């Protein structure tokens, strides 16, 4: 089984303001919610369910990014963008989340041309209000409806069904080839087809989907342009439908599709949504749209076009069970590509959202919902108006402490106008955010970013209330404050900041006021060639007597950063076991302080076990320095003991790990070696400061320490 990234545990729910008040406040602000954007009044309230801290990864709700969509009990996955479908077949028993028990069904089912010839012993729940249509009664709709139960049968050759009967935990990665044959639709087919083969395909997609509204089923759609007969929606999709496009009208399996060669386009001719999904709950939700291009009306001005897909949803207990799977979709030229609300859960694989234009959330607009995105792109979308930024926007009502999140892996968010991602909680892994105007990403609730690249964004890369950053790269971003990161509380580890520019805080900006407080902990990171007027790399300031932002830096490097004041650091920043080289400023190449407020409070920094050359600290205020080495004769600091003055460069600048970034190693003969001092947070004796890779002795070296690339023993 592919490895699956575990989903974060759902947090405790909070109470919400009355819906009417929220709507009124938004209206007063000039940002009224559009139709369908307000949560159903019956679903607004206190969520009294609290799910466990861990989630079962066998829920079919996530996938290895390299094989997105292979959470199937059948013979296909979402496959690649070219439409290749691979997966596993077999018999699978899943755990039922609500009862914690495992159920299975067995029975023999046979169907030919929509006629049932056997007895269905399936114990699953049917979409038709618990009434099984497989009781020897033939419903003649011109389509094969021999199995209308919502459980996912494996469709083995023996006809034995051993799949899970729990409808709220059924895998959505199906093949479309279960014990119910697909209905074939080809817009070029003649009238009167029964839809049982490509040769006798039906030609009216909307009518076909409407006839399956109470039954569910699988529909294969040939290439062509499909629009509405009027200015209504192109399709209104009901629960249980699995709709596949991209066929040449000759295929006998999903694996044969060539999505690039054969486009199935759903195109709107008015302002209505292209696709509308509504009226599902925990018992009936399981919908898949796969291999479709979705477009708004290109004849209308962009501000008058309708949405691409509206998922209006309904409140239900299992928020994490996948209800809607969108795979291999190309959604463009709509007022918002995807709208998800009312506790819906949507999974997106190998899809693209581009050239959508809207007042907020031009690509994806979320409201109290969960979106999981894999191997997809959100590019060239534009937000207009004054109601908020973000190609992806997550609405959070006042007083709502938990309102869903966006989870994305191996996806790109690029060249969007007025922001990339804006919302409640954002979880990104191995994603690229580049060329966005407006801040690239930010969450108002706990968020995390792992192995992501933020490149060339205007108005900043990342912000948020509370978030973690691990192994990310911030390159050539620009903003007025904190081109790479601003926020209230952040933990940053093993990240790279290169060439970022802002007026204050070239890379990171921390600030304190009556309403705002910044706290950053930064570990094992590199800051190279960032620039600003104040704080070339990091800025920590305050407002009046509120104090200064609390920014602590551990075991990090600052190289060639530049500012008028504070080439590397500005304000009351604490740096430990860090190295500074080639930073420049008119005042304080390493760090500059300031005098704040009418009481003349001195905002000074603190440096411990740091190595500096040829950089010096500023003299506006006295900084606290201990167990560090710096150019002899440096002024403007309080000597807390253990310091050494240098007369020569203590560094060897090398790229020992071949990652394209040079690091500051210590010359073994430098006075910075075995300087002494005590610091917490690292096991210094297993780390190295020298190109020889020998590990540290009992006495601590000044400057940044590295995990050795080879075993060279203890120094000395």
Nearest to 233 by CA among 265, 191, 271, 204: 271
Measure the CA–CA gap between 635 and 616, rounded to whole angstroms: 8
Half-sphere exposure of 10 (CA within 13 A, CB side): 24
Give strand ranges (E) for 209-337: 217-222, 224-226, 235-237, 241-247, 264-267, 275-278, 287-290, 293-295, 309-313, 324-327, 330-332
- Under the banding of pLDDT at 50, 70 and 90, the label for residue 314 is low
What's the predicted TM-score (pTM) here?
Answer: 0.75
pLDDT at 122 over 70: no
Q: Are 402 and 423 in contact (CB under 8 A)?
A: no
Measure the CA–CA gap between 439 and 479, rounded to whole angstroms: 9
Point out the least confidently predicted range of 173-182, 228-237, 651-660, 662-671.
173-182
Measure the CA–CA gap between 54 and 140, rounded to whole angstroms: 46
The pLDDT of 602-618, averaged and rounded, is: 90
Q: Which residue has the higher pLDDT, 59 or 369?
A: 369
> What sign results for the dihedral spanned by CA atoms 697, 701, 707, 710?
negative
Nearest to 217 by CA among 268, 181, 265: 181
Between the alpha carbon of residue 383 and those of residues 23, 230, 274, 312, 363, the distances in Å are: 21, 28, 20, 22, 9
Measure the CA–CA gap between 615 and 598, rounded to whole angstroms: 31
Measure the CA–CA gap between 190 and 135, rounded to whole angstroms: 33
> What sign results for the dihedral spanned by CA atoms 308, 314, 320, 323?
negative
- CB neighbour list of residue 561: distance below 8 Å, 6 or more residues apart: 506, 527, 528, 529, 530, 531, 536, 537, 567, 568, 583, 584
Pairing outcome for strands 562-565 and 531-534: parallel
Q: What DSSP string describes 471-504?
A: S-EEES-EEEE-SSEE-SEEEEES-EEES-EEEE
Q: What does the pLDDT look like over 494-544, one tens digit per residue? A: 999 999 999 999 999 987 766 567 899 999 999 999 999 999 999 987 654
Percentage of the chain exceeding pLDDT 90: 48
Q: Are 490 and 467 in contact (CB under 8 A)?
A: yes
Give strand ranges (E) for 547-704: 550-554, 557-559, 562-565, 569-570, 573-576, 579-581, 584-587, 591-592, 594-596, 601-603, 606-608, 611-613, 623-626, 629-631, 637-639, 644-646, 651-654, 663-666
Nearest to 555 by CA among 527, 522, 581: 522
Secondary structure letter of residue 149 according to DSSP:
B
Question: What is the pLDDT, as a whole number, of residue 678?
Answer: 83
Q: Which helix (H) or strand (E) holds 350?
A: none
Question: What is the pLDDT, as a whole number, of residue 558?
Answer: 98
Measure the CA–CA gap between 280 and 68, rounded to whole angstroms: 25
Point out the least confidently predicted range of 68-77, 327-336, 497-506, 513-522.
68-77
pLDDT at 317 over 90: no
> What sign results for the dihedral spanned by CA atoms 193, 196, 201, 206?
positive
The pLDDT of 241-261, averaged and rounded, is: 97
- CB neighbour list of residue 365: distance below 8 Å, 6 or more residues apart: 37, 336, 338, 339, 340, 358, 392, 393, 395
Q: Which residue has the higher pLDDT, 448 or 318?
A: 448
- Domain extents in the chain: 1-57+178-397
Dihedral in degrees, nearest 10, Cα atoms 629, 631, 633, 634: -80
In whole angstroms, how large is the CA radius of gyration of the chain?
30
Question: What is the pLDDT, as a whole number, of residue 539?
Answer: 94
> What sign results for the dihedral spanned by CA atoms 229, 233, 238, 242?
positive
- CB neighbour list of residue 20: distance below 8 Å, 6 or more residues apart: none
Half-sphere exposure of 173 (CA within 13 A, CB side): 28
pLDDT at 461 over 90: no
Question: What is the pLDDT, as a whole number, of residue 334?
Answer: 94
């Amino acid at each position: 089984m592919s490895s699956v990234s575990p989903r974060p545990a759902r947090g405790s729910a909070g109470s919400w303001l009355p819906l009417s008040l929220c709507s009124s406040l938004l209206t007063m602000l000039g940002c009224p919610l559009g139709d369908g954007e307000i949560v159903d009044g019956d679903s607004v309230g206190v969520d009294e369910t609290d799910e466990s801290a861990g989630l079962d990864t066998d829920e079919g709700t996530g996938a290895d990014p390299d094989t997105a969509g292979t959470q199937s009990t059948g013979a296909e996955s979402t496959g690649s963008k070219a439409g290749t479908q691979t997966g596993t077949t077999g018999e699978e028993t899943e755990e039922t989340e609500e009862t914690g028990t495992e159920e299975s069904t067995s029975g023999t089912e046979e169907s030919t041309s929509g006629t049932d010839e056997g007895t269905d012993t399936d114990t699953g729940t049917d979409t038709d209000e618990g009434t099984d249509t497989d009781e020897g009664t033939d419903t003649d709709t011109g389509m094969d409806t021999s199995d209308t139960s919502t459980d996912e049968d494996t469709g083995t050759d023996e006809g034995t069904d051993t799949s899970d009967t729990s409808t709220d935990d059924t895998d959505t990665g199906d093949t479309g080839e279960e014990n119910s044959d697909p209905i074939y639709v080809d817009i070029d087919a003649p009238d009167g087809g029964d839809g049982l083969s490509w040769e006798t395909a039906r030609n009216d997609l909307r009518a076909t989907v409407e006839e399956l509204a109470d039954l569910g089923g699988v529909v294969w759609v040939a290439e062509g342009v499909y629009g509405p007969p009027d200015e209504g929606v192109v399709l209104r999709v009901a629960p249980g439908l699995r709709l596949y496009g991209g066929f040449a009208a000759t295929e006998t399996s999903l694996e044969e599709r060539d999505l690039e060669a054969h486009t199935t386009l759903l195109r709107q001719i008015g302002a209505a949504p292209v696709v509308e999904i509504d009226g599902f709950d925990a018992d009936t939700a399981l919908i898949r749209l796969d291999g479709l291009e979705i477009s708004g009306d290109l004849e209308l001005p962009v501000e008058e076009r309708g949405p691409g897909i509206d998922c209006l949803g309904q409140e239900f207990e299992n928020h994490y069970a996948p209800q809607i799977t969108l795979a291999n979709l190309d959604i463009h030229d709509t007022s918002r590509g995807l709208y998800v609300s009312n506790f819906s859960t949507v999974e997106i694989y190998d899809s693209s959202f581009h050239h959508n234009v809207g007042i907020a959330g031009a690509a994806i607009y979320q409201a109290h919902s969960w979106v999981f995105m894999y191997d997809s792109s959100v590019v060239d979308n534009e937000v207009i108006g004054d109601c908020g930024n973000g190609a992806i926007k997550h609405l959070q009502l006042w007083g709502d402490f938990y309102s869903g999140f966006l989870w994305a892996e191996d996806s790109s968010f690029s060249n969007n106008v007025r922001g990339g991602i804006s919302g409640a909680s954002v979880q990104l892994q191995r994603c690229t955010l580049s060329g966005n105007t407006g801040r690239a990403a930010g969450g108002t609730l706990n968020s995390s970013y792992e192995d992501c690249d933020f490149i060339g964004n205007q108005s900043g890369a990342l912000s948020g209330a509370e978030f973690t950053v691990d192994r990310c790269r911030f390159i050539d971003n620009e903003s007025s404050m904190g081109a790479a990161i601003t926020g209230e509380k952040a933990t940053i580890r093993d990240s790279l900041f290169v060439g970022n520019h802002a007026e204050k805080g070239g890379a990171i900006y921390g600030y304190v006021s009556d309403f705002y407080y910044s706290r950053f902990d930064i570990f094992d990171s590199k800051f190279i060639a960032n620039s600003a007027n104040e704080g070339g790399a990091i800025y920590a300031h305050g407002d009046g007597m509120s104090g200064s932002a609390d920014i602590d830096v551990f075991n990090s490097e600052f190289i060639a950063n530049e500012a008028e004041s504070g080439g590397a650091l500005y304000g009351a920043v604490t740096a430990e076991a860090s190295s500074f080289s080639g930073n420049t400023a008119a005042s304080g190449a390493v760090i500059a302080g300031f005098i704040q407020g009418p009481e003349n409070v001195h905002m000074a920094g603190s440096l411990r076990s740091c190595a500096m050359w040829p950089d010096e600290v500023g003299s506006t205020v006295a900084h606290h320095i201990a167990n560090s080495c710096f150019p002899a004769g440096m002024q403007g600091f309080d000597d807390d003991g253990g310091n050494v003055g240098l007369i020569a460069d203590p560094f060897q600048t090398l790229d020992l790990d071949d990652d394209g970034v040079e690091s500051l190693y210590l010359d073994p003969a430098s006075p910075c070696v075995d300087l002494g001092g005590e610091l917490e947070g690292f096991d210094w004796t297993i780390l190295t400061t020298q190109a020889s890779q020998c590990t540290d002795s009992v006495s601590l070296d000044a400057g940044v320490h590295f995990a050795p690339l080879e075993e060279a023993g203890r120094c000395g």
